[in-house]
Amino acid sequence: MTYNLSLILGKEELQNAAAPLNKAWTLPPGAYTNPEVFKAEIANIFDKDWICVARQEQLKKPGDYVCFELPHQPIVLVKDLSGIIRALSSVCLHRAMPIVEGAGNTKRFTCPYHSWNYELDGSLRSAPMMQAVEGFRKEHCTLPRFSTEIWQGFVFVSCNNNPEPLGPQLEKFAALIENYDFERLEVIETLEFPSPYNWKILVENFLEAYHHLGIHKTTFQPTYPARDSFIEDNDDKPWFMLRMPGRPPKTEGEDELNVFPKLAGAQLFELFAACVYPNLLLAASPHGAYWYQLEPSAHDSMHLRIHALAFPEVAETMDEKTRMEKRAGVRFIHEEDITANEGVWKGLQASSTKQGRLSLYEKAIWQINRLWLARMKAL
């Protein structure tokens, strides 16, 4: 795909975003609002990077499957009969009907249109009434397969033919979150949020605590003050981490609510939020862990699922009241952030809107913008 991002967004504006942190600006508004930019993100990011599509525990038994919509490619992840997790295109090789949606367990996939029948490894098992079609061989019909990698229990897919392994790129980040044992966590609750705004707005909001001063001034700000927050150096690798040291609890015994036995020192009071680029967002405090799963579909829309995670032995003993409180807590905080995200989306459409200056507390946005500019070959 040939395109010139400087023509769409302005060379000076892109250079402003790439400047050193204390001189840096936000991306120009068109980076969020222009559908051509989203098309370029598909080619340069979603078709190339590792995209987080599921948790491994969603694929425990042979036949378990989960679907995920990349903006340019619907995918079904399935554990096949030999126990391998495969990522297959879910588009039928006959006339392009998606063969499956949602999640479940199956022995085979049968296309709902004309009943072509696929094995769990993507090979075509049968195609009714095709015997008389000259040269048709079912052996020639196997659903395209994509690379997969599991990191900390999250299943990633890459449409890139020969992707650079993800794990080594995340070594420093993995060490920082080691005490949370993400590998062992499981999804216990999921909330769904159709989100009518550009996906980058949510990622940016997630990775700065500067907005605790406004959007969360009565919720997060008293415990996790904006001024104490800081961003880890990521050595230009595809991960970002915001750390929010907390004030020790006023009520005695509150710190005993920690659900992560290995946490120590400052971690006992800390909230962190992190991103494995582009679409895995994670947050955890001693009270629990959350996975924000982003499924961008266009420049102006995305489906967001917020999953609460817990250790299986904790989940087993969790009563409905605790689960309800967890759901309500997630919803309450995210609704505060929706106000910010939808407000910014509206503001970005205004004809007078231009780039703004970043604060030093928004260092993760600066890191992300530099990665985005590099991925998009913008400069």
Q: Which two tokens stand for residue 335?
A: 């609704």
Rounded Cα distance between 160 and 170, Å, is 18
Cβ distance to Fe ion smaller for residue 179 or 205: 205
Quick one: 107 exposed, middle or buried, by C-beta within 10 A (0-12, 13-18, 19+)? exposed
Exposed (0-12), middle (13-18) or buried (19+): which is 319, by Cβ within 10 Å? exposed
Residue 362, token pair as written in the block: 């928004």
User: Residue 92's binding partner, choosing from ligand FES, Fe ion, none, with beta-carbon cut-off 5 to 8 A by kind?
Assistant: ligand FES
In the complex, what is the shortest distance from the CB of residue 219 to Fe ion, in angstroms, rounded to a whole number?
9
* Residue 342 interacts with Fe ion (CB under 5 A): yes or no: no
- CB under 5 to 8 A by kind: which of Fe ion, ligand FES, none does 138 bind? none
Query: Residue 337 binds what, of ligand FES, Fe ion, none (CB under 5 to 8 Å, by partner type)?
Result: Fe ion
Sign of CA dihedral 327, 333, 335, 337: negative
Output 117 or 219, the one with its CB closest to ligand FES: 117
Q: Which CB sits closer to ligand FES, 67 or 92?
A: 92
Residue in 345, 251, 239, 264 with CA at minimum distance from that of residue 299: 345
Number of Cβ within 10 Å of residue 257's Cβ equals: 11
Q: Which is nearer to ligand FES, 114 or 305 (CB)?
A: 114
d(CA 334, CA 355): 25
User: Taking the complex as a whole, how short is the minimal distance between the CB of residue 278 and ligand FES, in angstroms?
Assistant: 31
> What's the number of CA atoms in the CB half-sphere (13 Å) around residue 128?
8
Task: With H, G, I as helix, E, B as strand and everything else as coil, classify residue 69.
Answer: strand
Residue 12: count other Cβ atoms within 10 Å of its Cβ. 11
For Fe ion, the nearest residue by Cβ is 337
Binding residues vs ligand FES (CB under 6 A): 92, 94-95, 97, 111, 113-114, 116
Question: Based on CB atoms, which residue is closest to Fe ion, 337 or 342?
Answer: 337
Which residue, 143 or 203, is less far from Fe ion as judged by CB?
203
CB of 102 to ligand FES, least distance (A): 17
125 binds, among Fe ion, ligand FES, none (CB under 5 to 8 A by kind): none
Q: State the minimum distance, in angstroms, from the CB of residue 339 to Fe ion.
A: 10
**Shortest spacing between CB 111 and ligand FES, in angstroms:** 3
For Fe ion, the binding residue among 228, 300, 337, 342 (CB under 5 A) is: 337
The minimum distance between CB 110 and ligand FES, in angstroms, equals 8
Helices (H), the chain: 5-9, 11-18, 30-33, 35-41, 171-176, 199-206, 312-317, 320-348, 363-375
Q: Which does 277 bind (CB under 5 to 8 A by kind): Fe ion, ligand FES, none?
A: none
Residue 280 binding result from Fe ion, ligand FES, none, given CB thresholds of 5 to 8 Å by partner type: none
- How far is the CA of 64 from the CAs of 57, 102, 351, in angstroms? 10, 11, 49
Site for Fe ion in 91-150 (CB under 5 A): none
End-to-end CA separation in angstroms for the chain? 16
Give the residue with the Cβ less far from Fe ion, 112 or 214: 214
Question: Which of the residues 288 through 317 are near Fe ion (CB under 5 A)?
Answer: none
E strands, 9-164, in order: 51-55, 64-70, 73-79, 85-89, 103-105, 109-110, 117-118, 124-126, 145-151, 154-158
Which of ligand FES, Fe ion, none does residue 95 bind (CB under 5 to 8 Å by kind)?
A: ligand FES
Q: In this complex, which beta carbon is closest to Fe ion, that of residue 26 or of residue 169?
A: 26
Strand partners, 126: 117
* Shortest separation between residue 143's beta carbon and ligand FES, angstroms: 11
Closer residue to ligand FES (CB): 70 or 92: 92
Question: Could you tell me the smallest distance in angstroms from the CB atom of residue 135 to ligand FES?
Answer: 18
Q: Which residues bind Fe ion (CB under 5 A)?
A: 337
